[in-house]
Structure 1
Amino acid sequence: MFDISFWELFIVGIVALIILGPERLPGAIRSTVKTVRSVKNMASGFKTEIEEQLRVHELHEDLKKAEKMGLDNVSPEVAQSVEELKQAAMSVQEPYKKKKDDDAK
């Protein structure tokens, strides 16, 4: 990602020590690490969300293909996608079924 050598980090550390002083340097390092960590977490969350949206879009495309083909003679990949969608729909409905059963009692 970044091409930073040991000597470049060493020089940055020395300059930071001179500018901030030994009292404030540990706090500055901690806040920098915390900021970098939060940026990495935000980027990975964004990446995960995009991948999930692409997967959902692909499943919808497979479902449209299956509907056009009549769900009888579809490829195994499309059939698997349809089955995944059915399972996802059942898992979404599951909490509501439990709530209805509890309300009926």
Structure 2
Amino acid sequence: MLNIGMTELLIFGIIALLVLGPDKLPEAVRFVGTWYGKIKRMVSNVQNDLDRELRLSELREQMQAEMQRIQELEARMQAQMADLQQPIAADQLKIKPQPAQPLLSYQPVQQPVSSVYLPQPLATQNVMSKPCYTDIKVAV
């Protein structure tokens, strides 16, 4: 805190001994020591408070920046949701129900090449009996 060397302290002690005398010097040293400690603690508390306030203000700035970023993202998300909902609503007005068409069509096999045995469907099988196989011819 103060740049006082050993020689300055020695000169200060000799002057204090001459001015105060040996009876009052220990009492004066205790008094100065207690006030020095109080002042040092007070300065340390002020520094800690200033550091805390600076960190708090930096955190507030960061929080404001993050809140602004979140609001921008939310606005973009709302715009995208509105863009997605408009075509869906327009498509729902244009679409008319159509009769269901089969996805697969059956065409009979012209030339049998080999025969494959497949089990009968479960609905026609007896649970206690062994599975029965039927002859199906597949063209390759």
Same fold (TM over 0.5): yes
**Structure 1 CA distance for aligned equivalents of residues 65 and 23 of structure 2:** 65
Distance in 2 between residues matched to 1:7 and 1:39, nearest whole Å? 24
Q: Greater shift after overlay, 43-52 or 63-72?
A: 63-72
Mapped to 2, the partners of 1:32 and 1:71 lie a distance apart of: 58
Cα distance, 1:9 vs structure 2: 1.3
Quick one: distance in 1 between partners of 2:34 and 2:71? Answer: 51
Structure exhibiting the larger radius of gyration computed from Cα positions: 2
Distance in 1, matches of 2:49 and 2:42, equals 10
The corresponding residue for 2:66 is: 66
In the alignment, which residue of structure 1 is the partner of 2:18? 18
Measure how far apart 1:44 and its partner are: 0.5
Cα drift, residue 4 of structure 1: 2.3
Between the two proteins, the alignment pairs up a number of residues equal to: 73
Q: What is the one-letter code of the residue matched to 1:27? A: E
The alpha-carbon distance between structure 1 residues 7 and 68, as it changes in their structure 2 partners (threshold 3 A), is same
| Counterpart AA for 2:65 | K
- 1:36 is aligned to 2:72: no
- TM-fit CA distance, 1:71: 7.2
Letter in 1 for 2:32: T
- Corresponding residue of 2:5: 5
Within 1, Cα distance between the matches of 2:25 and 2:65?
60
Over the aligned positions, Cα root-mean-square deviation in angstroms equals: 1.8
Higher share in strand = 2
TM-score by length of 1: 0.63
CA distance in 1, matches of 2:56, 2:4: 39
Moved over 6 A (4+): none
The structure that is helix-richer by fraction is: 1
Structure 2's unaligned 5+ residue stretches are 74-140
Note the residue ranges of structure 1 that are not aligned, 5 or more in a row: 74-105
| Identity in percent | 33
Q: Distance in 1 between matches of 2:6 and 2:28?
A: 20
